[in-house]
């Protein structure tokens, strides 16, 4: 499970189990900064082209599965980062 702490338009996200900070998100734009994985969560990095299209070269079924499993989405300039629970549990 994620813990959130909001200050103004920014929200910091922490792993509730180990306390590690995982991301800082601008709630107005959806953009933000990702930090490292922890033993409970990992980041999936997907190009924006693949995230927002159904191009077969991008393996849309795999991306769809990642979207369903993710608990947090951070937009960056060229990529979308999805936070995925390790082992299917939060």
Under the banding of pLDDT at 50, 70 and 90, the label for residue 3 is: very high
- With a CB cutoff of 8 Å and minimum separation 6, the contacts of 32 are 23, 24, 25, 26, 74, 75, 76
**Which sequence spans correspond to the domains of the chain?**
2-88
Does 30 score more than 60 pLDDT?
A: yes
Mean pLDDT of 16-45: 93
For the segment 45-79, what is each residue's pLDDT rounded down to a tens digit?
Answer: 999 999 998 888 999 999 999 999 999 999 888 99
DSSP 31: B
pTM here is 0.88
Under the banding of pLDDT at 50, 70 and 90, the label for residue 89 is: very low
- With a CB cutoff of 8 Å and minimum separation 6, the contacts of 42 are 83, 84, 86
Which percentage of the chain shows pLDDT scores above 70?
97
Decide: helix, strand or coil at residue 12.
strand
pLDDT at residue 88, rounded to an integer: 60
């Amino acid at each position: 499970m994620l813990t959130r702490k909001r200050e103004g338009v920014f929200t910091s996200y922490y792993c509730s189990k180990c306390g590690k900070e995982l991301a800082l998100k601008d709630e107005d734009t959806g953009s933000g900064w990702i930090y490292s994985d922890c033993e409970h969560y990992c980041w999936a990095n997907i190009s924006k082209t693949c995230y927002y299209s159904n191009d077969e070269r991008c393996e849309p079924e795999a991306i769809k599965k990642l979207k369903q499993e993710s608990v947090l989405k951070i937009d960056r300039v060229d990529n979308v980062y999805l936070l995925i629970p390790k082992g299917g549990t939060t």
